[in-house]
Amino acid sequence: MKAVVWMEYGPPEGLQLKEVQKPDPKENEVLVKIHATTVTAGDCEMRRLELPLFFSTPMRVFNGLRAPKRITVLGQELAGEIEAVGEGVKSFKPGERVFATTGFNLGGYAEYICLPEGAEDIALAKMPANMTFEEAAAVPFGGLESLHFLRRANIQKGQQLLINGAGGSIGTFGVQLAKHFGAEVTAIDSAGKLEMLRSIGADHVIDYTRQDFTTSGVKYDVIFDVIGKSPFSGSIRSLEESGYFLMANPRISYMLRGLWVSKRSSKKVVSGTAPQRSEDLNYLKELIEAGHLRTVIDRTYQLEQTAEAHRYVETGAKQGNLIIKVSP
């Protein structure tokens, strides 16, 4: 089978299309023929290994000091069709269309992947009936991250919610989920993404190059920082009492300061990563089929263009999601 192999840490040129061995499903696994996957900012950070020190160092020790050895195919979400199942699989059968996260082993940039049924670190579910493979492939990562953080804030109808970095994979689902939960949403990103953000339900939009939300005097019940660039002190000042500051991509210093704020005040700072749960992916599937969520797709590339797709993501211009078509 064809796969884009991660040959070296660093620039996109280290991603090369190669022939690799097609996997066979174990007793508890399904073999998925991948039709579509995505490229996210997180994939680019992993490729470069430009991650927080507490993660990048053990990752390099585990995966190879000079070049990737154990995990050699990137890609953390996908949509495809089940081709075969192991004897112990109960919930899936060949021919079913599914979408999924790939867990720590990644592997989405390939024609086939084996995924275990019922694993704690992998979300696997049947695709929404009203989505294409390309649309469904972009749901698991951004959808699950947004759902996790917004649930932690226990959003109530009529609350004021701000999303910083709203124009990407996580933010576009965050806007739609927050509106579904009843919040009034302010979305922040660059000028070129503001019209798209209005189209998916944002009540107010801010061009971050022209306005600093922390100096406007407006207070919010929830601030959701998707990209890790909101000033910490300014964000805390911009919260209502008992408000939530959600950090999907936090610096270590912000995490430590967040613990202090949460302990010493009525304001709460939440960070970490979202659990990958199939029941949560099924919840998103229900919302999609009910018409409450849709995928925003910027561009679509072929599998052999994956390095080019990484280069585009790194420009910061991506609106919503970028799709890799793996199989026609």
Domain CATH code at residue 252: 3.40.50.720
pLDDT at 131: 98
pLDDT at 249: 84
* 135 and 170 share one domain: no
* 261 and 315 share one domain: no
| Total domains, the chain | 2
Is 152 among the domain residues?
Answer: yes
Residue ranges for the chain with pLDDT beneath 50: none
* 130 and 167 share one domain: no
pTM of the model: 0.94
Q: What is the domain extent for residue 180?
A: 143-270
* 59 and 153 share one domain: no
Is 287 among the domain residues?
Answer: no
Going across the sheet that includes 239-247, the strands are 204-207, 184-189, 160-164, 220-225, 239-247, 268-270
Is 288 among the domain residues?
Answer: no
* 135 and 151 share one domain: no
* 255 and 132 share one domain: no
pLDDT at 99: 98
pLDDT at 47: 95
pLDDT at 54: 65
* 9 and 135 share one domain: yes
Q: Are strands 160-164 and 184-189 parallel, antiparallel or unpaired?
A: parallel
Is 284 among the domain residues?
Answer: no
pLDDT at 53: 63
* 115 and 161 share one domain: no
* 95 and 44 share one domain: yes
* 158 and 131 share one domain: no
Measured distance CA(209)–CA(128) in Å, rounded = 37
* 153 and 101 share one domain: no
Is 31 among the domain residues?
Answer: yes
pLDDT at 51: 73
Is 64 among the domain residues?
Answer: yes
Matching residue, tokens 């049924």? 117
In terms of Cβ atoms closer than 10 Å to its own Cβ (0-12, 13-18, 19+), residue 49 is: middle
Measured distance CA(101)–CA(121) in Å, rounded = 8
Measured distance CA(306)–CA(16) in Å, rounded = 8
Is 50 among the domain residues?
Answer: yes
Is 286 among the domain residues?
Answer: no
- Concatenate the DSSP letters of all residues of 48-108 into one string: HT---HHHHHHHHHHH-SSS-SS------EEEEEEEEE-TT--S--TT-EEEEE--TT---
* 193 and 74 share one domain: no
